[in-house]
Chain A
Amino acid sequence: MSLASAWSVALLGVDGVLVEIEADIGAGLPGLQLVGLPDAALSEARDRIRAAVLNSGESWPSRRMTLALSPATLPKVGSGYDVALAVALLAADRTVPADRLRGTVLIGELALDGRLRPVHGVLPAVLAARRAGMHRVVVPRGALAEAALVDGVEVHGAARLRDVLAWLRDPTAQLERPGPSRPAPPAVVPDLADVLGQPDARWAVEVAAAGGHHLLLTGPPGTGKTMLAQRMVGLLPELCVEDALEVTAIHSVAGLLTPDTPLLTTPPFVAPHHTSSMTALIGGGSGLARPGAVSRAHRGVLLLDEVPEFGPRSLEALRTPLEDGEVRLARRDGVVTYPARCQLVLAANPCPCAPPDERDCTCAPAARRRYLGRLSGPLLDRVDLRVALRPVTQMDGAGCEPESTTVVRERVFAARRAARVRWGDRGWATNAEVPGSALRRRYRLSPTVRAPIEHSLQMGLLTARGADRCLRVAWTVADLAGHDCPSEEDVAVALNFKDRRAA
């Protein structure tokens, strides 16, 4: 009767739970039992670890072996437990000493020849290990850079199971340690100077970038809607360390990280095609939900190009994430919460025929109404800025060179700094994050400045939420103009952006 245990991590969304893996070897017919709600991939670990152990030059214990994953009621998914299972088994067999297994989390899939393969979600798993008070983590060598992003925990990389066993046997042996972190190559973002004309739309993009507001661009095809939206990421500041870790963790769970760029420091830009399903946009899948586009765009920009072509159900599902900044997805194996604080940019044609000049439109009035009518009121109510693009009539923009990203970014950064100074001690980074109640009480504007909004509310042109959003945009406009507090003019500009008739 010999026992041993090792540690690994089960992921629930971007949170992790420590899993104790116990191995028992006892009398009885030779065989291996795996208990603790394994899924299909984990049940197959039996065959993987047997081959890997034999091919690492160890003998396979021919006795009755039981491997238990605890907490037993938590469903375990995937192949990341292989290394911990194999090591627990060999420690129970007294093939390797168990001293170094105390306080060590092992993550990785085993290849049949004993190599360690990287798995998804290493970063959130290491974060969870640190939270649970573990002080050592062994990960596959390919995931070493990703795991090394976490401070306060010793990270080791191993290429083969053989290396891990040697490390357990010899207290002086060392596994590969992470090298100095390389700065990620600067992402290539197209420049704003490429866009011809469109002063209104450029201004709207600048305001959206400065305040973190949602934006709707409408206009005939070929006027630069998509170009402008793609260039918005270039106007956003780099992510702070906390946000970068959060964004990287989501990408790690989604399996989108490359070994070259372990830490994502630039705001992500996600542009799903308009045939995307609701699951692809919001997240989902069987068992435990996986992150969707809205979470992958967390702290970045989610562009929905040709938005009327999206399925109405997909678009409506965006409503709650936009408001809450997170999605809660309940599936068979539990409820997971993914952060989803993205900036939404919608781009649409004004009608199905969409001629360069609006006067040439041949659509029936009903068809026109129906086209933009696919964007529901509740969704549009959450959009702060609406702007119509005009047809481009000159190739060289009336002789003056359009402003480049660098110039506009200076103004955006200055406005963001002003906002952070104002809200910083309350934990809000941008104007878009400020709750409406704070805008209406603590930072209440004078009645004369507020008058246009009050009037629109009375006329039924604005909803209460719309009024709050209008106030936030007014603050951003004031920040960009260098005002301490929004003036009447700033409020008018904000109200104009919100106007349904504008787009």
Chain B
Amino acid sequence: MAELKIALAGNPNCGKTTLFNDLTGSNQYVGNWPGVTVEKKDGRLKGHKDVIIQDLPGIYSLSPYTLEEVVSRTYLVNEQPDAILNIVDGTNIERNLYLSTQLIELGIPVVIAVNMIDLVRRNGDQIDLKKLGEAMGCRVVEMSALKGEGSKEAALAALAAARGGEAKELPHVFTGSVEHAIAHIEESIQSRVPERFLRWYAIKLFERDERVMEQLGLDKDNILAEHIEQHIADCEAEMEDDAESIITNQRYAYIHTVVEKAVVKKPRKDNMTVSDRIDQVVTNRVLALPIFAVIMFAVYAIAMGGYPFSIGTMGTDWANDTLFGSIVPGLFDALLLDGTGAPRVAEWLYGLIQDGIVAGVGAVLGFVPQILVLCFLLAILEDVGYMARIAFVMDRIFRRFGLSGKSFIPLLVATGCGVPGIMATRTIEQDRDRKLTIMTTGFIPCGAKLPIIGLFAGAVFGESPWVATSAFFIGIGAVIVSGIILKKTRAFAGEPAPFVMELPAYHAPAWGNVLRATWERGWSFIKRAGTVILISSIILWFLQGYGFVDGVFQAVEDNNHSLLAVIGNALAWIFYPLGWAGDMAWKATVATITGLIAKEEVVNTFGVLYQYAGEVDLMEDSSPIWAAVAADFGAMRAYSFLIFNLLCAPCFAAMGAIKREMNNPKWTAFAIGYMCAFAYAISMIAYQLGGLITGEAVFSLWTVAALAVLAVLLWMLFRPAPKVREEVRFRAAKSAQSA
């Protein structure tokens, strides 16, 4: 028998994830929808290998305005699953059925599963499934996914519907004149769409859905477009409202009558639920911010703080020092060395495995414990419903610079490590906010950047605490400035992100979901370490360890002769405008390149390049290389180097995270390119203008160039936001109406 596809659709927080996990067990595939940041999950139904369950993003509607909704409807129309299992939260049935009224129009067999039926019963409410089914024109079952009650039956009902093939007769959701207009539109597009989707397309055209208009070629067929527009305009004139509002209003009006017939709500004496009581404290006007601060501090302390609270840091330190510091290298030594301590394999192979692969990949995998702990805590906050409250509390601050309230968590996490910070952007629903947050998260000084700050603060600035403080403010400033600048660019101005967000009721975490989410994120990080990071570690190891000495290509002891040094020298001119000149230029360039492996490598590289033998512990106290560094770097030059390395492209691990979360090569390149360009501009301004004051730089063409860059930055910062496409769309609709 051929494979059957069942799509799971429903609102966010309707229990869809729980059901999906329950139905598919460990048999899941997690990826992204092609080219977008929306997560895609599918799996096979337990006990039915020939049935694929496709989990759709949690959505409220099938409008053309949010990425999740577009992804879902494109899938439903193009891939044509054999049935839709629509999960409906029984405690919030009115808004949940709104999506159902749209799903049944697709001409695909639908089964509605009323979830959380245990809570409905506990509230003393009653839902008449038969009446509901008659009114919606599909089969309705009840279940409690969390308790595992009725899940199997719901899946089997969907399976039966899929095997049955035909969708049932649709209820008349809309009033006479609207149905009349829709019938006329159906008639005129009959030849262009498959019959089962006829009503769906007709309704979308009635709503003036631009994506559907384009898809059907109406933008090129004026006669047909005007014909359809006439029907819409007539109906609008009669109803004294716009088409989109008419459709939405009538859907809700229909649901309202259905709910009145099929649902009996027990009148409540006390309107306060447990969730309400929690919320009263947690988002209380006075207590909200302190509680929020405590929770954030706890998350941060447990995941990446210091001893003795931080499980994450303890795990990471153990992984770095013990697992990848002695156990794994020891294992490879046992495997690769003979009794005398000489390698059993070629010298270069031994070096490649130990210094290249084990050291490089190990450095990245060392973060896994911190990431797992952090993802676990964030998954709990997400699952219990607190994440939405964070956005509610913080939105006021963050939307000023183009981010959302939920951007706070990624930025906070990034002060520990940028990789989980970037991964934490997944909880932001709006695509635009998510991309902007991904792009700015890397600016925050992470733990690995602290040694760089420490080195220069000690060597050049007499251990002034202001260096670290200013570095932190530069990071935050870069986030804010970038948010404002990028928000005004065309890429981000396009789709306005309305902040109209559900605040779901609090509930105890579903541990299965929490653990699964934690594992998925952790595993995706580990997989990346095995690919992108493995390759880049090998390449850098090669460049660092090999070179030409006396015209012969060979392994080099002295880094100065390595290919990396050659590349550093060849590229040093790029950084001339930043004040990296003379003897330090190539060293600074090489350090910047090695910083791409991990930012702490910058300091290690200086240790090597300045011929400082022994443990490179540059943060603790005055070290012998401080004098050498100080001799090479003036104050502004050091500061320019510091700024560039704090803001430019992050390490490979973070770039890998950006690539994974953006899920689009163009956006990945844009994000990394932007960070480098921004870092370059700020460093150049700092050196050329700051250096003029301290006397390190002289007035030259570069000073003028820096002034010009500054002017451009200020212009991008303060120019009025360009007109949003939305307005154009609105005007187009208006003029079409009046035509």
User: Do chains A and B interact in one complex?
Assistant: no
Q: Interface residues, chain A, CB within 8 Å of chain B?
A: none
Q: Interface residues, chain B, CB within 8 Å of chain A?
A: none
